[in-house]
Amino acid sequence: MARIVGGITTSHVPAIGGAIAKRRQDEPYWKPFFDGFVPVRKWLSEVKPDVAVVFYNDHGLNFFLDKMPTFAVGAAPEYRNADEGWGIPTLAPLTGHPELSWHVIESLVDDEFDPVTCQEMLIDHAVSLPMALLWPDQPCPLRVIPVCINTVQAPLPSAKRCWKLGQAVARAVQSWPGDEKVLMIGTGGLSHQLDGERAGFINKPFDLEFMRSLIGNPTWATQFSTHQIVEKAGTQGVELLMWLATRAALPGAVTQLHTNYHIPISNTASGLMLMEAAA
């Protein structure tokens, strides 16, 4: 049976890619952010997971407003990323795990989810940047299963629904007969708003409370409607839904091994958490 070893949640701001390309990691503006990943990389080198399920949101590279699935799961042999206009260097393709992907998809359908299945799938900075942060000196060595959650086009899935999605993904992985060690990754947020009257909005108290809740009271955020989350975290702060799904995909209690929170990164509250699943 496959084993879920832990979860990592992190921000995916495009400016991070620019900082990496221009080697600005040690500049005062960026250093507290990049230094946060050192303990996470050490844990990865020790645990050596085989597969990453990545909960992310597409920003128009693979899906656009005319066709925006609520949930989509990749079942491709590889995933390529491209420049969405940010000037970020593209990375080597990520290797997929079609067999496990189809198992997850079929299990989700049995659990009364209706994901869009993607045998070809482009990935954007929401996937490529976390991989560059976690494995800065090599291509990502894990096989990857992307799970896309709509946070762009209304109506968005509720926090409760995203929690249930994460639980369903966990059940799927745990029923897989292989012996892979599976890592859950959630990317996005935290609080930020890039447009409108509240452009630049950041809510540090809410962010920190949300991060604490993932350890001690993980369903805390499911009490909020989508509109309430936007009010508390900003229009783009709804990306915390990926964090919530990731935590739901870690069965039972977890151990927080590392956390980092740094503002601002391109008008975004950038968070990082490493949670180890129970043996």
Q: How many CB atoms lie within 10 A of CB 237?
A: 27
Q: Which of 125, 227, 258, 262 is catalytic?
A: 125
Closest CA to 224 of 163, 269, 170: 163
Q: Which of 59, 97, 103, 192 is catalytic?
A: 192
Crossing angle of the two packed helices 14-21 and 125-134, in degrees rounded to 10: 50
Contacts of 41 (CB under 8 A, 6+ apart): 134, 135, 136
**Which ranges of 64-193 would DSSP assign to H, the alpha helix?**
98-110, 125-134, 159-174
Contacts of 62 (CB under 8 A, 6+ apart): 118, 121, 122, 123, 124, 148
**What sign does the dihedral 226-231-235-241 (CA atoms) show?**
negative
Residue pair 248/149 in contact (Cβ under 8 Å)? The answer is no
Active-site residue, 227 included: no
Active-site residue, 103 included: no
Q: How many CB atoms lie within 10 A of CB 38?
A: 10
**Which amino acids are annotated catalytic?**
125, 192
